[in-house]
Amino acid sequence: MDPNSRFLLRAFRKYYKENAVIMPDRFARREYGFMFFDRNFVQRHLGFAKPSDLQRFLIAQVPSHSYYSTAYYRTPNAATMEEKEWLGAELIFDLDADHLKNAERMTYDEMLRQIRTEMINLTDSFLMDDLGFTEEQIMITFSGGRGYHAHIKEADVLGLGTHERREIVDYITSKGLNIDWIFPYARVATSTVTINGNERVNVARNRTIPNEDAGGWKLRMRNGLKEVVNNICDMDVKDVKKEYPAIKTSQSKTVEGWQEDLRKSRDLIFTNNKMSTLKKGTQDALIKIMANDVAYRLSGEVDEPVTADVKRLIRLPGSVHGKSGLRVTPITRTELTDFDPLNMAVPKEYSDDPVTITLHRDYDISMKGQSFKLSAGTTQVPEYVAVFLVGRKIADIGDGTKEPDKFF
């Protein structure tokens, strides 16, 4: 085992000797899986009859990563999935910072703040507002790495299959959203003419707008349309085209025409819930923007394979993450608002004692209320910072000249 792994193993063992992991409900019906510092494979298909059995395993084996199944099984430690006999599964939503746009340009702390915002949106707008779950029915967990999990264990969702779970993902991510369902046409007779004794009715087709007491995607898109209308009315033409790529190739005079049209009716269309006072070209432009630009921005972020998988292994709450040393921490929705992993998920068992490390590059970080501005090369930091930096492969343990035996 290399020095970095031995250093982390020592820190993790110290943690597990003092802390019991948080056992999932019906823990004896769950499968468990682990990765280790000294092995290059996942050990899974394990079951534990008692919490104490699992705790002894963690102290003795000291895994780098610990997982449990989102599914319940009749025989969770059976060697094959068929033999386990699936009984149901939690509904899981996984958000990880590697899905964020420009994540590679963000600091670790910036990624954590952004993915926290995404989880708040997912929980508030979709899980609670649209799907109707209460805060008490949603268990949120900081993954210990760069994201969050939301667990729902209500009886109504346990039997959902992969197809139904994908449907939920599609709803949250706006995949397949029918813009004509959101803004349907209303056909209104405008005039009647008689040709060769036959009456002919001329009909206008104008878009309608969802009522303000609508729910779900209809209300979301109504509010989004209000913002679009105000932006088009108030922005310069060049900024409008930059804000909404769907119309960036439109002529500037055309956009100016939409602006003039909307300024006359910006309040009226939402009072009447109709676009009938707008020209057809203006209506078409709004619908194009809503379908191609806004729906995506209003959607939630979800890792589809995780939610759809009814036999998924997910991180065990109360365990520590092998690539950060941070605790996999359950939190409520209220706690999520101000949750700061680099202060609140650092195990207290990691000490303030100085540890010598060699950084591969300059690195700034704040942990446990302390700010560290570190330069590449050899330096000393508190043990809790060393665990994080070594786990993230930003630093090696020791000064690079000899193995730091004193840590083992």
Report if residue 14 sits inside a domain: no
Q: What is the mean pLDDT of residues 104-125?
A: 93
Domain ranges, residue 394: 348-408
pLDDT attached to residue 103: 84
Residue 198 placed within a domain:
no
Q: Are residues 223 and 267 in the same domain?
A: yes
Residues 25 and 134 in one domain: yes
Strand 185-195 relative to strand 32-36, pairing: unpaired
Whether 52 and 138 share a structural domain: yes
pLDDT of 170 reads 97
**CATH number of the domain within which 363 lies:** 3.40.5
* pLDDT beyond 50 at 387: yes
Domain stop point among 264, 298, 332: 298
Does residue 215 sit within a domain?
Answer: yes
Quote the number of domains for the chain.
3
| Cβ atoms of 224 and 243 closer than 8 Å | no
140 occurs within a structural domain: yes
Whether residues 64 and 165 fall in one domain: yes
Within-domain flag for 99: yes
Given 267, 298, 329, which residue is the final one in a domain? 298
Per-residue pLDDT band at 391 (split at 50, 70, 90): very high
Question: Which has the closest alpha carbon to 118: 297, 325, 291, 342?
Answer: 297
pLDDT single digits (tens) 334-386: 999 999 999 999 999 999 999 999 999 999 999 999 999 999 999 999 999 99
pLDDT score recorded for residue 407: 43
Q: Residue 100 and residue 50: Cα distance in Å, rounded? A: 39
Pick the last residue of a domain from 283, 298, 313. 298
Quick one: 290 and 354 in the same domain?
Answer: no
CATH number at residue 43: 3.90.920.10
Tell me which residues are annotated as active site.
Answer: 94, 96, 303
Six-digit token string for 110: 């910036």
Report d(CA 307, CA 161) in Å as an integer: 10
Q: What is the mean pLDDT of the chain?
A: 93
Cβ–Cβ under 8 Å, residues 129 and 135: no
Using one digit for the tens of pLDDT, what is the confidence trace for 260-318?
999 999 999 999 999 999 999 999 999 999 999 999 999 999 999 999 999 999 999 99
Q: Is residue 370 part of a domain?
A: yes
* 227 and 284 both lie in a single domain: yes
Q: Do 301 and 122 form a contact (C-beta atoms < 8 A)? A: yes
Helix 252-265 vs helix 280-289: crossing angle, to nearest 10: 100
pLDDT tens figures, 247-266: 999 999 999 999 999 999 99
Same domain, 163 and 232: no
Q: Does residue 320 lie within any of the structural domains?
A: yes
Backbone dihedral angles phi then psi of residue 51, each to the nearest 5 degrees:
-55, -35
Q: 397 and 307 in one domain?
A: no
Output the six-digit token pair for 330: 């359950």
Residue 105 has a pLDDT of 87
Number of CB atoms found within 10 A of residue 201's CB: 10
Tokens representing 3?
Answer: 């020095």
On whether both 154 and 273 belong to a single domain, the answer is no
Does residue 287 sit in the same domain as residue 398? Answer: no
Q: Is the domain of 41 the same as that of 109?
A: yes
Q: Which residues lie below 8 Å from residue 380, measured CB to CB, with a gap of 6+?
A: 354, 355, 356, 357
pLDDT of residue 197 exceeding 80, the answer is no
In a domain, 15, yes or no: no
Residues 121 and 253 reside in one and the same domain: no
